[in-house]
Chain A
Amino acid sequence: MIRPLQALCAVLVLLAPLPALAKPATIVTSPGGITAWLVEDHANPMIAVSLLFAGGAATDPDGKVGLATFVSGMLDEGAGEMDSQAFQTRLDDLNVEIGFNAARDTFSGSMTTLTAHRDEAFALLNAALTQPRFDAEPLERMRSVFQTRLRQRAERPNARAAQALFGEIFAGHPYGRPTDGTEAGLKAITAADLHDFVKTRFTRDRLMIGVVGDISAAELAALLDKTFGNLPATSKLPPVAKVKPKLSGGIVPVPMAVPQASAVFAQEGPARSDPDWQAFRVVMYVLADGGFSSRLTEEVREKRGLAYGVGAEAAPLAESPLVIGSVGTQTAKIGESLKIIRAEWAKMHDSGPTDDEIAKAKAFLSGSLPLNLNSSPAIAQTLTTLQHFHLPPDELEHRAEVLAAISPATIRAVAKRWLTPDRLTFAVAGEIKKSDLPQTGK
Chain B
Amino acid sequence: MRRRMSLCLLLSGASLALGDPAHAKVFDPTVFTLENGLTVVVVENHRAPIVSNMVWYKVGAADEPPGKTGLAHLLEHLMFKGTPEIPAGQFSKLVAAKGGVDNAMTSRDFTAYYQRIAAEHLPMVMRMEADRMAHLKLDEKDFQSEREVVREERRMRVENEPAAMLSERLNMALWMNHPYARPVGGFDSEIRGLTRDDALAFHKVWYAPNNAVLFVAGDVTPQQVKSLAEETFGKIPRAETPERVRGEPEAPMADIRIAFSAPNVRQARWYRANITPSCATAEPKVGAALDMLAEILGGGPTSRLYRQLVLEEKLAVDVGAGYSGTALGPGSFTVGATPLPGVDPATLDTKVAAAIAAIAKDGVTAAELSRVRERMLAARIYARDDLFSAPQALAESLAVGCTIADVENFNDVVAALTTADVQAAAQRLDGPHAQGILTPEAAP
Contacts and interface: CB of A to CB of B under 8 A. Distances in A.
B156 A371 contact: no
B118 A18 contact: yes
Contacts of B311: 85, 137, 141
Interface residues of B, number: 70
B385 A308 contact: no
Contact of A368 (B47, B99, B160): B99
A306 B93 CA distance: 20
Interface in B360-407: 371, 374-375, 377-379, 381-382, 384-388
Nearest to A16: B120
Interface stretch (B23-31, B145-153, B416-424): B145-153
A91 B2 contact: yes
Interface string A79-112: 0000011001101110101110000000000001
Interface stretch (B264-272, B347-355, B427-435): B264-272
Interface stretch (A258-266, A273-281, A411-419, A433-441): A258-266
Contacts of A371: 50, 99-101, 116-117
B201 interface: no
B99 A366 contact: yes
A67 to B, nearest CB: 15
Contacts of A77: 1
Interface string B1-25: 1101100000000000000000000
B254 interface: no
Contact of A260 (B4, B160, B300, B302): B160
B69 interface: no
B317 A364 contact: no
B381 A157 contact: no
Contacts of A46: 381-382, 385
A367 interface: yes
A61 interface: no
B375 A19 contact: no
B2 A305 contact: no
Contacts of A119: none
Contacts of A292: 80, 89, 92-93, 96
Interface of A: 3-6, 9, 12, 15-16, 18-20, 41, 43-46, 48, 72-74, 76-77, 84-85, 88-89, 91-93, 95, 97-99, 112, 114, 137, 141-142, 144-145, 148, 151-152, 154-157, 256-260, 262, 290-293, 298, 301-309, 328-330, 360, 363-364, 366-371, 373-376
11 contacts: A9-B48, A19-B49, A44-B384, A73-B1, A88-B301, A155-B264, A155-B267, A305-B152, A360-B97, A367-B118, A373-B48
Interface of B: 1-2, 4-5, 46-50, 80, 89, 92-93, 96-101, 116-120, 144-153, 155-156, 159-163, 262-267, 300-302, 307, 310-311, 317-318, 338, 340, 371, 374-375, 377-379, 381-382, 384-388
